[in-house]
Amino acid sequence: MGQTFAEKVLSKKVRRKLTAGEIVDVYPDYAMSHDNTAAIYGIFNEIGVDKVYNPDIHVVVLDHNSPPANEKLALNHKTIREFVKRYHIENFFDINAGICHQVLPEQGFALPGKVIVGSDSHTTTYGAFGAFATGIGRSEMAVIFATGKIWLRVPESVQIRIAGKLPPGVTSKDVMLYIIGDVKADGALYKSVEFVGETVENMTLASRMVLTNMAVEMGAKNGFIAPDQKTLDFLSNRARSTFEVVLPDADARYDDVLEYDVSQLEPQVACPHTVDNVKPL
């Protein structure tokens, strides 16, 4: 039996064949944090180590409060600047660099086959570039600062096949809202969601990022889109390190395979008070 993307990429990290459900210690390739780095720094100090295990894997982006709206937020930024300087974290992007989920792809950190964690739920975005990317908590990130590793459970996988040409005025956001309205907010709980099909292939990278970004809104551990020439062209002059494209096997086993034809899809909106309360406009 072949492997899904999640099984295969995590197998490569630990150098043995894994199946869904196993728990493994993983050293992520990159670990992203943003304005919450100040709070993470406090937890890191409580651990009691005197250095960051591997400063080179950390990417810190000030974006959520940029510029800071009050003195407290400004002091948080000051604390973060002192932290990255003290512990020699070179991958620091100060205010005005952009939103973290835009910065990592543009700056060449979101790469195929990489394992990326971030102290933000929408870290799943980087799956649009073929990475295994998932959100983690602040305490988990503090432990990565201290030890360089995290434990992960290998997720089961769901394949979502999307076909049809999008009608005028309908975007990838509408596609994802429609899917979430169908499967509900817990429909892919702790699952690895692989997006495939002609519609996905025809999307721009920016549109693909919407799919993987919003995968977490249906409970997914990560979202994944197979890299193609568009992906490789985008990364050709910006990749920070070498990478290997990791693809699921043709005979991989999925918990579920969902199929959608979006050729007649209308614009969608999520109504109060949940993301899966979706209605057509």
98 band by pLDDT with thresholds 50, 70 and 90: very high
Mean pLDDT, rounded, for 167-175 = 98
Q: Do the first three CATH levels of 23-153 and 155-239+248-281 match, i.e. the same topology?
A: yes
End-to-end CA distance of the chain: 43
pLDDT at 247: 98
What does the block give as tokens for 145? 């600062």
Predicted local distance difference test score (pLDDT) of residue 1:
82
Does 218 score more than 90 pLDDT? yes
| Helix axes of 37-47 and 138-147: crossing angle, nearest 10 degrees | 60
Predicted pLDDT at 230: 98
Q: How far apart are the C-alpha atoms of 206 and 60, rounded to whole Å? A: 22
The domain limits of the chain are 23-153, 155-239+248-281
If you average pLDDT over every residue of the chain, what do you get?
97
CB 73 within 8 Å of CB 35: yes
Query: Phi and psi of 24, rounded to 5°?
Result: -135, 155
Q: Identify the burial level of 241 via C-beta atoms within 10 angstroms of its C-beta, where 0-12 means exposed, 13-18 middle and 19 or more buried.
A: exposed
Kindly state which CATH superfamily the domain 23-153 is placed in. Answer: Aconitase, domain 3 (3.30.499.10)
CATH for 155-239+248-281 is 3.30.499.10
Q: Is the pLDDT of residue 208 over 90?
A: yes
SS3 (DSSP) at 13: helix
Residue-by-residue DSSP string for 146-195: HHS-EEEEPPPEEEEEEESPPPTT--HHHHHHHHHHHH-TTTTTT-EEEE
DSSP state at residue 273: T
- At 263, the pLDDT band (50, 70, 90 cuts) reads very high
* Amino acid found at 6: A
Q: List the one residue out of 151, 143, 152 whose CA is nearest residue 54.
A: 143
Compute the CA torsion angle 235, 89, 62, 213 (nearest 10 deg): 40
The pLDDT > 70 percentage for the chain reads 100
